[in-house]
Every structure is written in C-alpha cells, then in structure tokens.
C-alpha cells in the first residue's frame, strides 16, 4: 500500500510509477482524511510513503496523518521524497515519525525533480533545460528504487545537501512557523474568477468570495498547486512570487 501526497504532480508521478511496477495500491492522503484511517496490510505487503520535501523536512500534515493512522501488520516500510535540490535531514525526521508508531523505516530515497517553491527571493521554477535534465534522470533513479524495494533491501540515499542539520533543525521550524501561511495568498488584476484554483486545491481549502475572487481558508499546506495551476497567472503569495514561473508535472 502506498500513501502519497503531491502538489504539482512530481510525487504523484513517482507514486504512480511505484504502484504500476510493484502492483501496490495507491492512496492519496487528502482523500483518506475523512475516513477512519485504519488499514490492514496483507502478509508480506509493503508500506510506502511518497511526498515532497518541504522546508528540508517531512511536510507537517504528513507527520500528522502518520500520527493518526492505524496500520495493522506493518512489515517492510519505505519512503520516497521528491525535492527540487536537497532534503536536509528529512530521512532522519521521517524515521523518527514512524518510530513513534513502533515501525522501522528500512529504505529511504530522494528523487530530484523540478522545483515548485517560489515564495522567497532567489527561489523560482527551474529554467526549461534544467527542468528537462532533472526529468531525464528520473526513470533510472526510479528503476533503482523499485529494484531495492522488490529485493527488500535497506538503506538511505536521500540527497541531504550542505549543512543538513542547520537546514532541518534551524531553518525548518522558522519555515513552518512563518512561511506556511494562507493569509499571504492574493490575486492580481488578471483574475477572472474562473474557479480553477478552487477545483485544483487538494484540500478543498479555496472558495470564491462574492466578488468571484478566491479566498484561502486555514487548511493550506502551501503545496502551491493553486499558484501553478492558474491559467491567468493571477495568484500571488506575498510580493515575492511576482514575475515568477509556473510548473506542473506533465501539466498534471
Ligand atoms: C512549501 C515548499 C517547500 C519546499 N521545500 C523544499 C526543500 O526544502 N528542499 C527541496 O529540495 N525542495 C523543496 N521544495 C520543492 C519540492 O520539494 C519539489 O519541487 C517537489 O518535487 C514537489 O513535489 P510535488 O510536485 O509532488 O508537489 C519545496 C516546495 C514547496 C512547495
């Protein structure tokens, strides 16, 4: 069974690839939130998690989901995180989260994919050649991951990058506290009130106000799907997204 989340489609592609190759069931985490979140694995069934790296760690809502879910008969457990650059100590953070459930994470991988974070100065989507280079490297990496999972191997290859401790233990708390905030979303005068962002939000967190402009409610995880999906390039987060690019995996 594979639990996954994806904002702009990278992790969705990875999760779908694993599901196809391993014949394991896929479950999209936002769809699971309204259920009893109680799962029973068959003997020998693997438990996988696929998610984007956010702020050099596991996105807080993934941590909350894992904290609340109940899974019977857990054996081999792995994760794959997609990232634009590097993941800091995401592997250690994930292992701690599942250890609190009494589970052991055997395998962890990071897969570098096109950048989706645009909310701070210096962060933008990748230029097209870089985007293509990253996408070209993904299939080989995925075959390596599938081979490891099929053989039940252990180990971690998670692209920690430079200064992983500082990123995950100093920058990350600041990031989660101050930079994950739906109040900074707004629209510019390109907004035509089409409501595409309302349908795109994986958490149903956006509605249209009386003036037909979107309003963001409190359950935003900052996946940026609304920003990247808007066909009119009308959504901004604070003032730092002005003039920046958009990305969706395969226009997913
Ligand atoms: C809120 C947010 C935080 C991010 N933080 C990181 C990060 O710490 N390190 C990194 O390499 N990429 C980071 N990224 C980029 C994404 O991890 C990367 O583009 C990922 O593949 C997106 O996956 P998705 O398409 O499944 O949503 C971040 C993206 C967002 C939206």
pLDDT digits 0-9 by tens, 161-211: 999 999 999 999 999 999 998 999 999 999 999 999 999 999 999 999 999
Is the confidence at residue 252, as pLDDT, over 60? no
Same-domain pairing of 156 and 49: yes
Give yes or no for residue 7 CB within 6 A of ligand 1. Answer: yes
Residues 87, 135, single domain; the answer is yes
* Together in a domain, 92 and 68: yes
Test site for ligand 1: of 117, 135, 160, most ligand atoms within 8 A of the Cβ: 117
127 shares a domain with 12: yes
Task: Give me the sign of the Cα torsion angle 9, 83, 107, 149.
Answer: positive
DSSP annotation of 115 reads: -
Answer whether 141's CB lies under 8 Å from 111's CB. yes
Q: Could you tell me if 32 and 82 lie in one domain?
A: yes
Average pLDDT, the chain: 97
* Residue 231: domain span: 182-251
Task: Verify that 20 and 81 share a domain, yes or no.
Answer: yes
The predicted-structure confidence for 26-39, as pLDDT tens digits, reads as follows: 999 999 999 999 99
**Number of domains the chain is built from:** 2
- Cite the beta strand spans of the chain per DSSP E: 2-4, 26-28, 38-40, 47-52, 70-72, 77-83, 107-112, 155-157, 185-187, 206-208, 214-216, 235-237
Question: Which of 149, 177, 205 is a domain's end point?
Answer: 177
Taking the centre of ligand 1 as the mean of its atom positions, its distance from the CA of residue 192, in whole angstroms, is: 28
The answer on pLDDT for 66 being more than 90 is yes
pLDDT digits (tens, 9 = 90+) for 85-96: 999 999 999 999
What was the pLDDT predicted at 164?
A: 98
Residue 187 near ligand 1, beta carbon < 6 Å: no
Distance of CA 126 to the CA centre of its chain: 17
Instruction: Look up the CATH number of the domain holding residue 234.
Output: 3.30.70.20
| Confidence (pLDDT) at 250 | 86
Number of the ligand 1 atom closest to the C-alpha atom of 116: 19
The pick from 7, 28, 83 for probing ligand 1's pocket by mutation, whose C-beta has the most ligand atoms within 8 angstroms, reads: 83
What number does the ligand 1 atom closest to the CA of 53 have?
Answer: 17
- Of the residues 120, 153, 177, which one is the last residue of a structural domain? 177
Whether residue 52 sits in one domain with residue 35: yes
- The alpha-carbon radius of gyration of the chain (Å, integer) is 18
144 lies in the same domain as 74: yes
What average pLDDT does range 149-153 have in this prediction?
Answer: 98
Residue 233 predicted with pLDDT over 90: yes
- Tokens, residue 236: 């901004």
What is the phi-psi region of residue 104: left when phi exceeds 0, alpha when psi lies from -120 to 50, beta otherwise? beta
At residue 237, φ and ψ (nearest 5 deg) are -120, 110
Q: Over 90: is that where the pLDDT of 251 sits?
A: no
Distance 44 CA to ligand 1 centre (A): 32
Q: For ligand 1, atom 17, which residue shows the shortest CA distance? A: 83
Rounded percentage of the chain residues whose pLDDT exceeds 90: 98
Ligand 1 mean position, distance from CA 85 (Å): 8
Residues 33 and 20 in one domain: yes
Is the pLDDT confidence value at 119 over 80? yes
Last residue of a domain, one of 113, 144, 177: 177
CA distances from 47 to 18, 23, 71, 73, 222 (A): 12, 12, 9, 10, 26
Are residue 84 and residue 57 in the same domain, yes or no?
yes
Range 226-237 average pLDDT: 98
CATH of the domain at 158: 3.40.50.360
Judge if 108 and 186 occupy the same domain.
Answer: no
pLDDT tens, residue by residue, 49-65? 999 999 999 999 999 99
Q: Answer for the pair 48, 78: CB distance below 8 angstroms, yes or no.
A: yes
Q: Is the CB of 52 inside a 6 Å radius of any atom of ligand 1?
A: yes
Whether residue 39 contacts residue 71, with contact meaning beta carbons closer than 8 Å, is answered with yes
Q: Are residues 205 and 169 in the same domain?
A: no
* Ligand 1 in reach of 156 Cβ (< 6 A): no
Quick one: pLDDT at residue 231? 98
């Amino acid at each position: 069974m594979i639990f996954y989340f994806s904002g702009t489609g990278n992790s969705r592609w990875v999760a779908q690839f694993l599901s196809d190759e391993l014949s394991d069931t896929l479950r999209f985490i936002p769809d699971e939130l309204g259920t009893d979140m109680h799962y029973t694995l068959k003997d020998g069934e693997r438990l996988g998690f696929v998610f984007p790296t956010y702020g050099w760690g596991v996105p807080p809502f993934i941590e909350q989901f894992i904290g609340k879910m109940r899974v019977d008969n857990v054996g081999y457990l792995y994760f794959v995180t997609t990232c634009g650059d590097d993941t800091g100590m995401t592997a250690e953070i994930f292992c701690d989260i599942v250890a609190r459930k009494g589970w052991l994470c055997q395998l962890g991988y990071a897969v570098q994919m096109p950048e989706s974070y645009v909310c701070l100065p210096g962060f933008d989507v990748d230029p097209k050649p870089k985007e293509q280079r990253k996408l070209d490297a993904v299939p080989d990496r995925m075959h390596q991951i599938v081979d490891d999972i099929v053989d039940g191997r252990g180990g971690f290859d998670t692209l920690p990058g430079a200064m992983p401790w500082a990123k995950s233990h100093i920058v990350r708390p600041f990031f989660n506290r101050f930079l994950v905030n739906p109040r900074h979303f707004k629209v510019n005068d390109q907004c035509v009130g089409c409501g595409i962002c309302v349908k795109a939000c994986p958490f149903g967190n956006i509605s249209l106000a009386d003036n037909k402009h979107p309003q963001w409610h409190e359950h935003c995880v900052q996946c940026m799907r609304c920003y990247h999906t808007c066909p009119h390039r009308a959504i901004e987060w604070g003032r730092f997204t002005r003039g920046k690019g958009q990305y969706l995996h395969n226009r997913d």
